[in-house]
Chain A
Amino acid sequence: MQDTITALINPADAQGQYLSDAALNQLRQYFERGMMRVKAAATISATASQIISRTVAKSLLYGDITLPGGNMYPTRRYAACLRDLNYFLRYATYAMLAADPSILDERVLNGLKETYQTLGVPIDRVVQALNAMKEVLNETVGSEAGQELAGYLDHIIAGLS
């Protein structure tokens, strides 16, 4: 995976140079928001299952999808949905810490849309859940980290659409 720091060091090394002032400024901004991101990641680590429950309640629970014939029925498929939402949350958290979306491309989106299509997972409902997760995160970790996480969830949405 790529992260902000490595992404700045590698091109400098290719030139045999120290990091330029511009690169150091980018790094300074990354470092300055580091504590805020770690704090948000700590909250997510501690409350992930609640975040997922609230996301489902906001988006999927009261719809047809949980009824017989729906894609979250029976319980095995409900659990698979929880697991996938958990993945999205975990990888969005990683991407936020790295301030780089590449881990989403490599570990989440690679083949995901095709898998969902094969399994008949309704992608519009996944998108609906991801949008609900953005709202829940905003309430849970605050708007600053919430906005960054929303950017990475949007990246997942774009990759599925």
Chain B
Amino acid sequence: MSLVAQVIAQSDAADRFLSSAELNKLEEFFSKGALRIQVAQKLAANERKIVEEGSKRFWAKCPNTPSNRGDAQKTALCQRDQAWYIRLISYCVLAGNDKPLEDIGLNGMREMYVSLGVPLNNLRIAMTSLKEVTAGLLSAEEMALAAPYFDRLIRAF
């Protein structure tokens, strides 16, 4: 559910036309529309780089972790998951809220990683590393649209 759908649902639940606060929210959202698309495109184009550079940073800070124990298959799976989170963040930037991340990637996430034996603490460091690399690739204005979702992701671990 995008920000637009969220605002409409809220207004509908109160049985009224949109309030000025709700209209302002939508105006703010649409005013950055072109930038949102640009950020989504940059995240898609740089996904590999973000994950590769992010892994290097992560392993430097946290060398003893499942993705760095010489099991190529496990490393690939961990990096695939990280790439998925970049993709979900690109959806959030377009949707204007963290619902795509919540619904697709955070609901049940802790249980899954605990069951897989991946330490949540390490994952937090990994996701922080992805954010750092992304911040180096996007302009400050672009990063301002993506950062809240990286933060939401980091907080989840």
Among B7, B26, B96: residue with most chain A CB under 10 A: B26
1/0 per residue, CB under 8 A from A, across B15-32: the answer is: 011111001001101110
Binding site secondary structure of chain B: helix
The number of residues on chain B lying at the interface, defined by a beta carbon within 8 Å of a beta carbon of chain A, is 38
> Contact at B8–A103, with CB atoms within 8 Å?
yes
Of A31, A37, A45, the residue contacting B36 (CB under 8 A) is A31
Contact string against A for B residues 94-114, beta-carbon threshold 8 Å, 1 for contact and 0 otherwise: 111000100010000000000
Of the listed stretches B70-78, B83-91, B131-139, chain A binds: B83-91
Enumerate chain A residues within 8 angstroms of B60, measured Cβ to Cβ: none
Q: Which residues of B contact A17 (CB under 8 A)?
A: 87
Contacts of B91 in A (CB 8 A): 9, 12-13, 19
Q: Which of B37-45, B49-57, B142-150 contacts A (4 or more CB under 8 A)?
A: B37-45
Contact B27–A28 (Cβ < 8 Å)? no
- The answer to whether A1 touches B17 (Cβ under 8 A) is no
CB pair A27–B12 under 8 Å, yes or no, is no
**Is A34's CB under 8 angstroms from B33's CB?**
yes
Cα distance A98–B96 when bound, in Å?
A: 13
A16 lies within 8 A of chain B by Cβ = yes
Contact check, A9 vs B4: say whether CB atoms are below 8 A apart: no
* Contact among A9, A45, A48 with B19 in the assembled complex (CB-CB below 8 Å): A45
Q: Tell whether, in the assembled complex, residue A18 and residue B23 are in contact, meaning their CB atoms are under 8 Å apart.
A: no
Instruction: Give CA–CA (A2, B2) in the complex, Å.
Output: 9
Report the separation of the CA atoms of residues A19 and B100 in the bound assembly, to the nearest whole angstrom: 13
Chain A residues near B41 (CB-CB < 8 A): 24
B43 CB, nearest partner CB in chain A, Å: 8
**Contacts A19-B40, A34-B29, A45-B17 hold; do A97 and B84 have CB atoms under 8 A apart?**
no
Query: Does B116 interact with chain A (Cβ within 8 Å)?
Result: no
A16 to B105 CA separation, bound complex (whole angstroms): 12
Q: Give the A interface residue count (CB, 8 A).
A: 36
A18-B44, A35-B27, A41-B18 as given contacts; A27 in contact with B94, CB under 8 Å: yes
Q: Decide if B1 is an interface residue (CB 8 Å cutoff).
A: yes
Chain B contacts for A28, CB-based, 8 A: 33-34, 37
In the bound complex, CA of A16 to CA of B81 (Å):
11
Contact surface of A with B, Cβ cutoff 8 Å:
1-6, 8-9, 12-13, 16-19, 24, 27-28, 30-32, 34-35, 37-38, 41-42, 44-45, 48, 90, 93-94, 97-98, 103, 107
Residues of B within 8 A of A (CB): 1-2, 4-5, 7-9, 11-12, 16-20, 23, 26-27, 29-31, 33-34, 36-37, 40-41, 43-44, 47, 84, 87, 90-91, 94-96, 100, 104
